[in-house]
Every structure is written in C-alpha cells, then in structure tokens.
Chains A and B, each alone.
Chain A
C-alpha cells in the first residue's frame, strides 16, 4: 500500500482545509475538511454552533469550561494511535495529555476521511497521514487563542506564548486559561501562516508517553463491540455455508425452536442463525438444526487446487511494476542463473475478539442503530444501510475499541450479515460469531505464488533479478480507484523498493483472485514479498559461498539507511559468532511504508524437527518517532504475529471447507514459545514511516534463513514443517 497512501500527496492541500468554528456553549472548534469548498460557515457565534458538531471533523473542541475533546479519526485496535495522535495535537496546542478527553469519530467519510478520502485505519498509515495535519490543527488553535488573549490585553501576539492550556504574557505576568478565550477565538480568522514548533522544542513528541487506553483495558471496563448491551436485545449465533460460495438449501428447525431461550430461526441466502435470549441458548440450538447446503461449484475444492491455480497464473503475463535496465535480456544471457518458486500460504486473522455486530432496526421509524468495532466505520454504516433499504443518514453507527484488527475489520461482511439478520427480527440483535465461524469464514490472506530468478556475475553478485507474483488483488476489490494503470501496488510493495543495487531488476504481478474470498492481512504485500526476496537473497549468498550479511551490504552502498540497520542489528545480535549444533541465526532486511528494519533471528531445532525461536534482534529506522514506547510495542507485536504465521500458520481447504476451526488447529504463539525480543530505534529526522506492520513483514525470512543455517533446509513455503526439518 505504498503509492495510494503516500503522505506526500496531502502536503499541498492541507492548509486550505483548516477551519475554525464556534462550538455549542460558545466553545471553539478547529478541524480540517477533506473537500475544499465544503460549505462550512465559520461565522460569529450566535450562541448556537454555526454547523452541527457532528458535521465537523473538529479534531479539537475546547469548551468555555476548559474541557478539551479530541475526536479520533483513526480507530484504536492496539496500535497506540489513541495516544500518538493526541500527542501530535497536544504538542502544538500546548496542553497536557492528561487534560484531554477522546471520542471516536462518527462515521462520515467526507469529514473524517481527510485527507485520504475514506475513513479507514490500516496500511500503517495513521501517523504518516496525520503527522502534518494534526500538528497544523493544534498549531492553528494555539495561534487563535494567543491572538484572542493578545487582543484582550492589547499587546502584540508575539509577546505572548502558550503553555499548559493557558496563554501567558511574560512581560506583565498575566495568564489566562483557554476556556476564557474560546468565545473570542472562535470569531477570529485562521492565521495566514501556521507556525509549527521547531522539533527541538518538542515536549511530547519523541518521548515515551503512557497509553491513554491502558486503565480501562486492565480493569475490565474498556468496551469492545462485543460488549454492547441494549435493552431488549437478543443474541444470534450464525452458521454460514461451510463451503466457499455455497447456499442454504433447507433447514429443519423443529427441535431447535423448542429449546430453552430460543426466539427465532432466521435464514439468509447463504446462512442460518438462531436468535435466543443469550449466546449459550443460541449456540446450543444452532447445533440442533439440521441444515442442508447447496454446496455449489467448489464442493471439492482443496488447497492443492488453489496452489495449482496460482502456480499456473505465474506463467501468464502480468503488469510490470518495475523494470530497471533489461532484466529479461540479462537473465537470458550466459552466466550463473539461480531460480526458485515460493508459495505464501493462506492465513486467518484470528483476532481475539470474534466478529460481531449489534443492529437495532426500527422498521416503523425507518431508522437503524449499529454497535460495532470497525476499521472502516463509514463504509460499515453505508453497507448496512443498503441491506436495510435505508438512506445512510438514517443509520447511526457507534464505533468501539477493536479487539484486534490486522486487516480483518477493514471488511464489512459481518456488519452486512448482522443487518440482514436484524432486518428480520423485531428486537435489537447482537450477532456473535463462534471462534469456529470466525476462522472458517475469514477473508483470508490469499495464497500467493512467486517465481524469482537471478543471474550472477563472476563474483557471485546479481546482475539481473526478476520477481514475478501471482495471487488475489485486494486493492482491486477494496479500493479499485487506487490501482495505478491497473497495477495493484500493494502486491508489489517491498519488491518495488527492494533496496539492493542490481542493475537489471524486474517486478511483475499477475492478478488471479482464485476461488477463496481474501483480504488484507497484517503486513500486506511486503509480508509476502519480503518472505520470498530476503530468503532468495540468502540462497544467492549460499550458492556463491558468501556470508549473508556481507553479501547484502555489498549491494547497499547507495542505501545508507538500509545498510545502517543491517549493520547495527548484526553487531547487536553477535553475527558471525559460533552457535551449537542445530542452532542457526538468520538475517533479513525490510523496507516498506517509509520504514527500514533489519532483524536477526536465533533458532534451535530439535531432533524431531520442532523449531524454537530463542531471540529476535530488530533495529528499526522509522524516521521521526512520535511515541518511542509505541514503536517498540508495535515491533514486539509484529514479530510475534509474523512468527506465529511462520511457525504454525496455514488455512487449508478440503472438500471446499476450511480444515481449521479453533486455536488447537490454528495455532497462535504462546508466552512460553515467545522469544526474547530486543528492539533498537535509530534516531532520525526523516518523515515518519509506518510501524504497525514492518515487524511482521521482516521476520518471516529472518526465521527461515535461521532455520536454513540450523538444518540446511531451505523453506520456500511456510509454515515450518517438522517432518522436513527432523534430524536425518
């Protein structure tokens, strides 16, 4: 997701969109708008807000009572954005973090989609997109407040400054709280030129700041979508067609309807649900249904079929994403040629909070209310409205903290399903998927096939390199307008910025969606591409008898940030040191989302072929850091997520059905299996890079390279298999 979310493109437009307005109760609101020319009156206060507060993306609202409310355009799903974005605002506004209250943005893509145009949290974009606009917003508010104070005191504004929610006139010792200035400030025009603070004066940015959501998440009071309670609410448990694309044919429900607490059995085209007084009664009754499915064309589908489709697609021409020099010609020329085919398996998101959504459809009033955790609240509202036959403005959506996103809650299938069920029920309806339903009806990370080839010069260095990718296009289904001349930039990300100095370099992607519905998964394109490329680079080093670190560094003269993270990680990990038998150390470089990261993984493999990950060293250069503790936390998280996939992760199909069902056969790394993780952040003043996904994207190849070092077995299709790694 590189180009479509390039923060550079928002630079030119941000200034014109900043707006100021009077808030209810003579308060001050400052925000910015995605669409220039939107009629937003910033008129003098008449005691009423110039426009309804809900229509404004007033990121900052300051009341006459000094209450400061920040509206969060991004969704908190663990990544720390509810702390980092307020830091950006508070830094420029000169308020203390413990004085601000946060609220979830209501669904409104027009106003909260700014500056991206879609109200969306994902792709490691939050800080990259918000870094400038949020500071601009905070600074604009600070400047009008200072102006208002200066006017009142009849002094020059530049003789005043702001601190801790007050404007201070140092010469006279006068100070006044923001709350007493908001009525006057709301009448002022925005300053012509917005002065951002010099980074050397930052009080918050770059320093560890405590998470604002920690307390509620340790005492049980934090509310996720699944915790919704509405008076009169019923609970539905659902069974969708177990076979991809199957339809509901018939249901015998006489027994289920007689069971305790059961209120209804509701059918959809491809699913059936039991509505009951609580989850347990619904679940019990669902198991008592006799369901017949029309299994359709994929009734015999297997993983091997999907793999074959993608391997076949590799042979078809695709879109060329990168073509430095003439790689095809150079590859055809004489010289040592190395080739390999890699496969990235299907994966489930397996968020800890299963999919759920509560919908209250009021047919008489022609309205609906939705309670959910979504990475795309405006889409969720609109998609539900469509199913309910209502205009979007008749649907109110309450977004919640998200019990794990990882890309899963970018999709609205579970919201649409809940709306379709609730439409048939008179009461408010909470639909909760069982873990089995969640794993078997995920929009999986698709299966991707990759062919890589290189030709090497006399010294063993690549003179030509080709990477061909085949698999589903998530961008085409999720945001087709972001395709670039038909190219899915997500699927080539990481490969298109592959940092090594190779004169002839070609990257090509062939779209093949295949039969299995798929979606974005943490680390998106780079997770798949780096797992292939950084393993293949290791293969090249090995084939020519060179050290994997030295080999990489020899191709990074022009990439100082990449070379630096590699060197520091290697040094810290003790690269080159002796390890016991069947232990190995692997290294990998990752560059994507504007972030550079190197990882060194230490493993040991027992005689049965089971791999234990002992230690991961990660050195990250993600540009200017907002909250260093969040960066460390996200790297730790990303590594464990990526290791889970590498060690255990695969969704497989048999007879059209997902074979896995719960955490016993879709394994997640556990505490006793988690490695020691050491994270080092490189000091940098470059533009901030993404941090939610790089840890995941980087660790796969470091793991398989370590396994190779320990066993001599090259893993070209994860997850690791003990039968292939056991002692000969």
Chain B
C-alpha cells in the first residue's frame, strides 16, 4: 500500500512501488487532468507539484513521494499562483487543443509561486520542459506576464 496526499486529501493505493505517479493518478485515482505525453520526462504534459516543485510525474515512482504533498491541475486553483495562472490563461486565450495545458499551467504556477516577477529568461527556463504542439508559446509567455499583475499574487 502507498499512502499519498493529493490535493490536500490523504489516500491509499494498492499499487507497485515503482509505478510512476502519473499512472496512479490517471488509472487508479481516475484524475484525468494530468496528461500522458511521452513517458520520459521530455514533454511536461504530466507536470504536477511535489512539495511545491514542478515535477514530471511520468518518471516519478510513487514510492518516492510517500508523505509528500502532491498538487495536480485539479487542485492547483487552491493556490494563489495556480489560480492566477489559470485566470491569465483564459484572459490571454492561450489554449488550442488543450492537451498540454494542464502541464503548462502547473509549470507556470510553480514558477510564479517562487518568482513573482519572472524575466523572459526565467520564463524560458521554467517553461522549456513543456512542449505545446499547437505552438501556443507566444500566449503562454503573455499569460505568465499577465499573471504577475494578478492581485492574487500581491498578498501571497
């Protein structure tokens, strides 16, 4: 049994310890917002937060995250940076097919939580692990800059 804290709730799962967190979320917890893209931490579609750090869940064994706080796209709106990112994403009309955007928002939220005024270089560093095949990069950059002006981030 593996005991995990996902979006503030403690849950137990009877799975192999080497199972990547992605597949536990999707196939066992049926939380489908976190996406499968590559299975090799190359595309970022599976990005979640582990103790606030943006982490690729497709290569992260569940045994390594026992006792840590996991946040997924379904729970990120409870954080000021997550909600600010989601709102900015809608305002900038970022999404197209939308498949990668859970991961994009999770990476952006982790960035904004730590760095309230990221430079272009900071955005490059934080977001270049996330591939968008629809090429929404121009708007992702805009949305992150827009989110820095969110009142949600002021008090945080």
A-side interface residues toward B, CB under 8 Å? Answer: 77-80, 210-211, 213-224, 226-227, 229, 235, 260-261, 277-281, 283, 350-354, 401-406, 432, 434-435, 629, 633, 636-641, 644, 662-664, 668-674, 676-677
Closest to B30 in A: A229
Question: How many Å from the CB of A646 to the closest CB on chain B?
Answer: 13
Provide a sorted-by-A list of 16 A–B residue pairs whose CB atoms are within 8 angstroms.
Answer: A77-B97, A211-B93, A218-B89, A221-B74, A227-B32, A281-B19, A283-B39, A352-B43, A352-B131, A403-B35, A406-B133, A641-B134, A641-B135, A662-B38, A671-B123, A676-B138
Q: Which residues of B contact A672 (CB under 8 A)?
A: 124-125, 127-128
Q: Which residues of B contact A629 (CB under 8 A)?
A: 93
Among A218, A283, A639, A641, chain B packs the most CB atoms within 10 A around the CB of: A218
Q: Which residues of B contact A671 (CB under 8 A)?
A: 123-124, 127-128, 130, 132, 137, 140-141
Q: Is the CB of B45 within 8 A of A352?
A: yes
| Contact string against A for B residues 25-54, beta-carbon threshold 8 Å, 1 for contact and 0 otherwise | 011101111111111101101000000000
Q: Is the CB of B40 within 8 A of A639?
A: no
Question: How many Å from the CB of B62 to the closest CB on chain A?
Answer: 10
Closest to B77 in A: A219
Q: Quick one: which of B16, B35, B127, B130 contacts A353, CB cutoff 8 A?
A: B35
Q: Is the CB of A78 within 8 A of B97?
A: yes
Sorted nearest first, the 5 A-B pairs with minimum C-beta distance are A220-B33, A640-B135, A217-B98, A403-B99, A78-B96
Q: Quick one: which of A283, A403, A639 contacts B98, CB cutoff 8 A?
A: A403
| Contact string against A for B residues 77-111, beta-carbon threshold 8 Å, 1 for contact and 0 otherwise | 10000000010011001111111111001000000
Q: Does residue B73 face the partner (Cβ distance < 8 Å to A)?
A: yes
Q: Is the CB of A668 within 8 A of B133?
A: yes
Q: Given contacts A79-B96, A281-B16, A432-B36, is CB(A636)–CB(B136) below 8 Å? A: yes
Q: Which residues of B contact A644 (CB under 8 A)?
A: 135
Q: Is the CB of B37 within 8 A of A354?
A: yes
- Complex-state Cα separation, A281 to B95, whole angstroms: 32
Name 8 extra pairs, CB < 8 A, besides A218-B105, A351-B97: A213-B98, A224-B35, A353-B99, A404-B133, A637-B135, A668-B133, A671-B127, A676-B138
Q: Is the CB of B26 within 8 A of A279?
A: yes
Q: Quick one: which of A404, A638, A670 contacts B97, CB cutoff 8 A?
A: A404
B-side interface residues toward A, CB under 8 Å? Answer: 15-16, 19-20, 23, 26-28, 30-40, 42-43, 45, 72-74, 77, 86, 89-90, 93-102, 105, 123-125, 127-141
Q: Is the CB of B136 within 8 A of A637?
A: yes
Closest to B85 in A: A218
Q: Given contacts A280-B20, A403-B98, A671-B128, is CB(A639)–CB(B135) below 8 Å? A: yes
Q: Given contacts A279-B36, A664-B40, is CB(A220)–CB(B135) below 8 Å? A: no
Q: Quick one: which of B16, B34, B99, B123 contacts A404, CB cutoff 8 A?
A: B99
Q: Given contacts A352-B99, A663-B43, is CB(A404)–CB(B134) below 8 Å? A: yes
Q: Is the CB of A633 within 8 A of B139?
A: yes
Q: Quick one: which of B43, B90, B127, B133 contacts A218, CB cutoff 8 A?
A: B90
List the count of A-B residue pairs having beta carbons below 8 Å apart. 178
Q: Is the CB of A223 within 8 A of B32?
A: yes
Closest to B34 in A: A220
- Complex-state Cα separation, A402 to B96, whole angstroms: 10
- Complex-state Cα separation, A279 to B20, whole angstroms: 10
Q: Which residues of A contact B27 (CB under 8 A)?
A: 235, 277-280
Closest to B97 in A: A78
Q: Is the CB of A352 within 8 A of B97?
A: yes
Q: Is the CB of B28 within 8 A of A278?
A: yes
- Complex-state Cα separation, A673 to B135, whole angstroms: 11
Q: Which residues of A contact B15 (CB under 8 A)?
A: 278
Q: Which residues of B contact A217 (CB under 8 A)?
A: 95, 98, 101
Q: Quick one: which of B26, B42, B73, B123 contacts A219, CB cutoff 8 A?
A: B73
- Grouping DSSP codes into helix (H, G, I), strand (E, B) and loop, the A interface class, with mixed when no group exceeds half, is loop
Q: Is the CB of A219 within 8 A of B86?
A: yes
Q: Given contacts A278-B27, A279-B26, A671-B128, is CB(A220)–CB(B73) below 8 Å? A: yes
Q: Given contacts A280-B27, A639-B135, A670-B131, is CB(A402)–CB(B73) below 8 Å? A: no
Q: Which residues of A contact B23 (CB under 8 A)?
A: 278-280
- Complex-state Cα separation, A382 to B20, whole angstroms: 36
Q: Which residues of B contact A283 (CB under 8 A)?
A: 39
Q: Is the CB of A351 within 8 A of B133?
A: yes
- Complex-state Cα separation, A219 to B31, whole angstroms: 12
Q: Is the CB of A640 within 8 A of B131?
A: no
Question: How many Å from the CB of A97 to the closest CB on chain B?
Answer: 14
Question: How many Å from the CB of A224 to the closest CB on chain B?
Answer: 6
- Complex-state Cα separation, A283 to B59, whole angstroms: 13
- Complex-state Cα separation, A404 to B43, whole angstroms: 14
- Complex-state Cα separation, A229 to B26, whole angstroms: 9
Q: Which residues of B contact A78 (CB under 8 A)?
A: 95-98, 134
Q: Quick one: which of A77, A221, A260, A402 contacts B16, CB cutoff 8 A?
A: A260
Question: How many Å from the CB of A98 to the closest CB on chain B?
Answer: 14
Q: Is the CB of B39 within 8 A of A435?
A: yes
Q: Is the CB of A218 within 8 A of B95?
A: yes
Question: How many Å from the CB of B122 to the closest CB on chain A?
Answer: 11
- Complex-state Cα separation, A402 to B77, whole angstroms: 24
- Complex-state Cα separation, A580 to B110, whole angstroms: 38
Closest to B126 in A: A671
- Complex-state Cα separation, A664 to B131, whole angstroms: 12
Closest to A211 in B: B93
Among B37, B43, B125, chain A packs the most CB atoms within 10 A around the CB of: B37
Q: Is the CB of A636 within 8 A of B102?
A: no
- Complex-state Cα separation, A677 to B140, whole angstroms: 13
- Complex-state Cα separation, A15 to B101, whole angstroms: 41
- Complex-state Cα separation, A351 to B39, whole angstroms: 14
Q: Given contacts A215-B90, A671-B124, is CB(A350)–CB(B98) below 8 Å? A: no
Q: Which residues of B contact A677 (CB under 8 A)?
A: 138
- Complex-state Cα separation, A638 to B133, whole angstroms: 10
Q: Given contacts A352-B37, A352-B132, is CB(A214)–CB(B72) below 8 Å? A: no
Q: Which residues of B contact A79 (CB under 8 A)?
A: 96
- Complex-state Cα separation, A121 to B66, whole angstroms: 45
Q: Given contacts A78-B97, A641-B135, A662-B40, is CB(A220)–CB(B32) below 8 Å? A: yes
Q: Quick one: which of B39, B72, B136 contacts A434, CB cutoff 8 A?
A: B39
Among A210, A229, A279, A664, chain B packs the most CB atoms within 10 A around the CB of: A279
Q: Given contacts A629-B93, A671-B123, is CB(A663)–CB(B74) below 8 Å? A: no
- Complex-state Cα separation, A216 to B33, whole angstroms: 10
Closest to A636 in B: B138
- Complex-state Cα separation, A674 to B136, whole angstroms: 10
Among B43, B133, B139, chain A packs the most CB atoms within 10 A around the CB of: B133
Q: Which residues of A contact B72 (CB under 8 A)?
A: 220
Q: Is the CB of B131 within 8 A of A668?
A: yes
Question: How many Å from the CB of A300 to the closest CB on chain B?
Answer: 29
Q: Given contacts A219-B86, A352-B45, is CB(A674)–CB(B137) below 8 Å? A: yes
